[in-house]
Amino acid sequence: MPTPRRTKTDHLIHADVVDSKSKAGVWMGERASFQDKQRQILEGLKDALNWVPLEGAIMAISTNPAGITVIAPNPTLPGLIVLADGGSPAASAHLQTNGEDLVRQVMSGLGIAEEAAA
């Protein structure tokens, strides 16, 4: 099925890039504000979900293809979690494979064996 672009409204709308120059200071002021809101939202989510903290996660950023890959230690099992979000479905799959391959390469370089699930 063709995939519609997701609707996203959590840009820095208040930063309003359409009128840019005069609002540089406003954006700067808003950063602390939106980060505080992010913390509040996460606290709210914690009440609605079963969750564990994801310590030590990183978000890799790629331009070719465009996308992000969140790589985090699995908090309850051996191994790392790799979650890719690319600019298109194929790019997501590409990034996911790249991320997993890279994890394996690094493991190999460190001499850490991949553990098979029981």
Partner 1 sequence: MAATRLLWGKYFQYDRDGEAVLLDPVTLNSCYLDRGEVTDLSAVPPTATHDALSELGFTPDGPATDRREALRRQLRDLALDPTPNRVSGLRIVLTDRCNMACTYCFVDTNTGKPDMTEDELAEGLRYLFEENADRDEVSIQWFGGEPTIRFDLMRYGDELADRLAAQHKVKRVRRTVVTNGARLTDEALNHLVRHEYGVGISIDGPPDINSANRLLLGGRPADDRIRRNVRRLVEAEELHVGCNLTPTAANIGRLAETVAWIIDTLGLKFIYVNTPIPTGGRWRVNGQDLAHELYEARLVALSKGGLLFSVLDRAFQALDTRRPMLFDHMQGDGTLNAAYLPGKRVSLCDINFTEPNFLFTLDELRYHPEVLGTVTKRVAPVPACGDCPALAICGGPSRNEQLLIGGDTPDPEMCAFYTETVDIALWDNTGVQ
Q: Contact positions toward partner 1, by CB under 8 A?
A: 1-9, 11-29, 31-32, 59, 61, 63, 65-68, 85-91
CB of 37 vs partner 1, minimal distance in Å: 15
Characterize 59-70 residue by residue with b for buried, 16 or more Cβ atoms within 10 angstroms of its Cβ, and e for exposed: eeebeebebbbe
CB of 94 vs partner 1, minimal distance in Å: 10
Q: Are 92 and 84 in contact (CB under 8 A)?
A: yes
Distance between CA atoms of 59 and 75, rounded to whole angstroms?
16
| Nearer to partner 1 (CB atom), residue 5 or residue 110 | 5
Judge residue 84's burial from the number of C-beta atoms within 10 Å of its C-beta, 0-12 exposed, 13-18 middle, 19 or more buried. buried
| Nearer to partner 1 (CB atom), residue 41 or residue 66 | 66
| Nearer to partner 1 (CB atom), residue 86 or residue 99 | 86
| Nearer to partner 1 (CB atom), residue 31 or residue 104 | 31
CB of 36 vs partner 1, minimal distance in Å: 14
C-alpha R_g of the chain: 19
CB of 79 vs partner 1, minimal distance in Å: 24
Report residue 51: phi and psi, to 5°. Answer: -150, 160
